[in-house]
Amino acid sequence: MVNAKNQRAAPSMADLPRAVAGDLVGRRQGAAEAGLGGMTDTWEQLVAHPPAFGRLMDFHRRHKYLIMAHSPEHCRALGRLVGTGKQLPIDRLYAEYRRSLTEAFRCEATVGKHVNALQHIMGYFKRDLTADERRAALGSIADYARGEAPRAAPLALLRSLLRKYPKPYLAEQSYLEGVDRLTLQG
Protein backbone atom coordinates (compact mmCIF):
# COMPACT_ATOMS: atom_id res chain seq x y z
CA MET A 1 0.00 0.00 0.00
CA VAL A 2 1.40 3.41 -0.97
CA ASN A 3 0.63 6.63 0.83
CA ALA A 4 -0.04 9.26 -1.85
CA LYS A 5 1.18 12.09 0.35
CA ASN A 6 4.79 10.95 0.61
CA GLN A 7 4.85 7.97 -1.78
CA ARG A 8 6.29 5.56 0.77
CA ALA A 9 5.17 1.99 0.98
CA ALA A 10 3.70 1.17 4.36
CA PRO A 11 5.25 -1.95 5.89
CA SER A 12 3.00 -4.97 5.64
CA MET A 13 2.33 -7.24 8.61
CA ALA A 14 4.73 -9.75 7.01
CA ASP A 15 7.51 -7.14 7.22
CA LEU A 16 7.03 -6.57 10.95
CA PRO A 17 8.38 -8.75 13.74
CA ARG A 18 6.18 -11.62 14.95
CA ALA A 19 5.20 -9.73 18.13
CA VAL A 20 3.11 -7.30 16.06
CA ALA A 21 0.99 -10.08 14.66
CA GLY A 22 -0.40 -10.86 18.08
CA ASP A 23 2.34 -12.40 20.17
CA LEU A 24 1.62 -9.97 22.98
CA VAL A 25 1.30 -12.62 25.69
CA GLY A 26 4.90 -13.74 25.23
CA ARG A 27 6.29 -10.24 24.88
CA ARG A 28 8.02 -10.10 28.27
CA GLN A 29 9.43 -13.59 27.91
CA GLY A 30 10.65 -12.77 24.40
CA ALA A 31 12.18 -9.52 25.61
CA ALA A 32 14.06 -11.31 28.36
CA GLU A 33 15.27 -14.02 25.96
CA ALA A 34 16.49 -11.34 23.56
CA GLY A 35 18.43 -9.62 26.31
CA LEU A 36 15.97 -6.74 26.53
CA GLY A 37 15.84 -6.80 30.26
CA GLY A 38 12.63 -7.81 31.91
CA MET A 39 13.35 -5.06 34.44
CA THR A 40 10.00 -3.62 35.31
CA ASP A 41 10.79 -2.72 38.89
CA THR A 42 7.83 -1.43 40.78
CA TRP A 43 7.95 1.39 43.28
CA GLU A 44 7.14 -1.21 45.93
CA GLN A 45 10.27 -3.19 44.98
CA LEU A 46 12.35 -0.02 45.09
CA VAL A 47 11.21 1.01 48.56
CA ALA A 48 11.58 -2.54 49.91
CA HIS A 49 15.30 -1.71 50.12
CA PRO A 50 16.93 1.03 52.18
CA PRO A 51 16.75 4.35 50.29
CA ALA A 52 19.76 4.87 48.05
CA PHE A 53 20.45 7.54 45.47
CA GLY A 54 21.85 5.04 42.96
CA ARG A 55 18.79 2.81 43.21
CA LEU A 56 16.48 5.75 42.57
CA MET A 57 18.63 6.85 39.62
CA ASP A 58 18.45 3.31 38.16
CA PHE A 59 14.67 3.25 38.69
CA HIS A 60 14.27 6.54 36.84
CA ARG A 61 16.56 5.43 34.03
CA ARG A 62 14.55 2.20 33.52
CA HIS A 63 11.21 4.02 33.36
CA LYS A 64 12.16 7.29 31.65
CA TYR A 65 10.23 6.71 28.41
CA LEU A 66 7.20 5.33 30.23
CA ILE A 67 7.10 8.53 32.28
CA MET A 68 7.64 10.58 29.10
CA ALA A 69 4.64 8.90 27.46
CA HIS A 70 2.45 10.16 30.31
CA SER A 71 4.00 13.57 30.85
CA PRO A 72 7.12 14.94 29.15
CA GLU A 73 7.07 17.84 31.63
CA HIS A 74 7.14 15.55 34.66
CA CYS A 75 9.81 13.43 32.99
CA ARG A 76 12.06 16.49 32.65
CA ALA A 77 11.31 17.60 36.22
CA LEU A 78 12.03 14.11 37.60
CA GLY A 79 15.27 14.00 35.61
CA ARG A 80 16.32 17.33 37.13
CA LEU A 81 15.31 16.11 40.59
CA VAL A 82 17.40 12.95 40.25
CA GLY A 83 20.23 14.96 38.71
CA THR A 84 20.43 17.24 41.74
CA GLY A 85 19.19 14.67 44.23
CA LYS A 86 22.40 14.30 46.18
CA GLN A 87 21.77 17.81 47.53
CA LEU A 88 18.63 16.60 49.34
CA PRO A 89 18.20 14.25 52.28
CA ILE A 90 17.44 10.84 50.75
CA ASP A 91 14.00 10.51 52.40
CA ARG A 92 12.96 13.91 51.04
CA LEU A 93 14.30 12.98 47.59
CA TYR A 94 12.23 9.78 47.54
CA ALA A 95 9.11 11.63 48.77
CA GLU A 96 9.44 14.37 46.13
CA TYR A 97 10.16 11.83 43.41
CA ARG A 98 7.13 9.74 44.36
CA ARG A 99 4.86 12.80 44.49
CA SER A 100 5.92 13.95 41.03
CA LEU A 101 5.82 10.42 39.59
CA THR A 102 2.26 10.01 40.92
CA GLU A 103 1.30 13.29 39.21
CA ALA A 104 2.91 12.09 35.96
CA PHE A 105 0.89 8.87 35.93
CA ARG A 106 -2.31 10.85 36.51
CA CYS A 107 -1.71 12.40 33.09
CA GLU A 108 -3.16 10.57 30.11
CA ALA A 109 -0.64 8.81 27.89
CA THR A 110 -1.97 10.09 24.57
CA VAL A 111 -1.03 8.88 21.11
CA GLY A 112 0.94 12.11 20.62
CA LYS A 113 2.96 11.57 23.80
CA HIS A 114 3.61 7.96 22.83
CA VAL A 115 4.80 9.12 19.40
CA ASN A 116 7.15 11.56 21.14
CA ALA A 117 8.59 8.76 23.31
CA LEU A 118 8.93 6.43 20.31
CA GLN A 119 10.73 9.13 18.31
CA HIS A 120 13.11 9.78 21.20
CA ILE A 121 13.92 6.08 21.36
CA MET A 122 14.42 5.96 17.61
CA GLY A 123 16.98 8.75 17.92
CA TYR A 124 19.36 6.27 19.54
CA PHE A 125 19.56 4.43 16.20
CA LYS A 126 20.02 7.43 13.89
CA ARG A 127 23.59 6.51 12.92
CA ASP A 128 22.91 2.77 12.66
CA LEU A 129 19.87 2.35 10.46
CA THR A 130 19.82 1.64 6.76
CA ALA A 131 17.48 3.77 4.67
CA ASP A 132 14.96 0.91 4.54
CA GLU A 133 15.11 0.37 8.32
CA ARG A 134 14.64 4.07 8.96
CA ARG A 135 11.70 4.21 6.54
CA ALA A 136 10.07 1.13 8.14
CA ALA A 137 10.52 2.47 11.68
CA LEU A 138 9.28 5.97 10.87
CA GLY A 139 6.43 4.45 8.87
CA SER A 140 5.42 2.23 11.76
CA ILE A 141 5.40 5.20 14.15
CA ALA A 142 3.42 7.27 11.62
CA ASP A 143 0.91 4.43 11.13
CA TYR A 144 0.42 4.32 14.91
CA ALA A 145 0.03 8.12 15.04
CA ARG A 146 -2.72 7.94 12.37
CA GLY A 147 -4.49 5.13 14.20
CA GLU A 148 -3.70 2.60 11.47
CA ALA A 149 -1.61 0.34 13.71
CA PRO A 150 -1.46 -0.50 17.41
CA ARG A 151 1.39 0.83 19.54
CA ALA A 152 2.67 -2.75 19.64
CA ALA A 153 3.77 -2.36 16.00
CA PRO A 154 6.42 0.36 16.47
CA LEU A 155 7.43 -1.16 19.82
CA ALA A 156 8.10 -4.52 18.17
CA LEU A 157 10.01 -2.88 15.35
CA LEU A 158 12.15 -0.90 17.82
CA ARG A 159 12.80 -4.07 19.84
CA SER A 160 13.97 -5.83 16.67
CA LEU A 161 16.29 -2.90 15.92
CA LEU A 162 17.59 -3.12 19.48
CA ARG A 163 18.48 -6.76 18.92
CA LYS A 164 20.33 -5.83 15.72
CA TYR A 165 21.95 -2.66 17.12
CA PRO A 166 22.35 -3.21 20.89
CA LYS A 167 21.95 -0.15 23.09
CA PRO A 168 22.37 -1.12 26.77
CA TYR A 169 20.46 1.94 27.99
CA LEU A 170 17.44 1.12 25.82
CA ALA A 171 17.60 -2.58 26.66
CA GLU A 172 16.62 -1.64 30.24
CA GLN A 173 13.56 0.41 29.26
CA SER A 174 10.28 -0.88 30.64
CA TYR A 175 8.50 1.11 27.91
CA LEU A 176 9.88 -1.18 25.21
CA GLU A 177 8.31 -4.13 26.99
CA GLY A 178 4.89 -2.54 26.52
CA VAL A 179 4.46 -1.51 30.17
CA ASP A 180 1.73 1.13 30.39
CA ARG A 181 1.93 2.26 34.01
CA LEU A 182 3.63 1.54 37.33
CA THR A 183 1.86 1.06 40.60
CA LEU A 184 3.16 3.28 43.37
CA GLN A 185 2.36 1.24 46.46
CA GLY A 186 4.79 1.00 49.32
The answer to whether the beta carbons of residues 149 and 140 sit under 8 Å apart is yes
Percent of the chain with pLDDT over 90: 67
Instruction: Give the 3-state secondary structure of residue 2.
Output: strand
Q: What's the rounded Cα separation, in Å, for the pair 132 and 21?
A: 20
**pLDDT of 25 higher than 70:** no
For 117-144, what is each residue's pLDDT tens digit? Answer: 999 999 999 999 999 999 999 999 999 9
For 50-86, what is each residue's pLDDT tens digit? Answer: 999 999 999 999 999 999 999 999 999 999 999 998 9
The conformation of residue 26, written as its DSSP 8-state character, comes to: T
The answer to whether the beta carbons of residues 19 and 156 sit under 8 Å apart is yes
pTM of this structure: 0.77
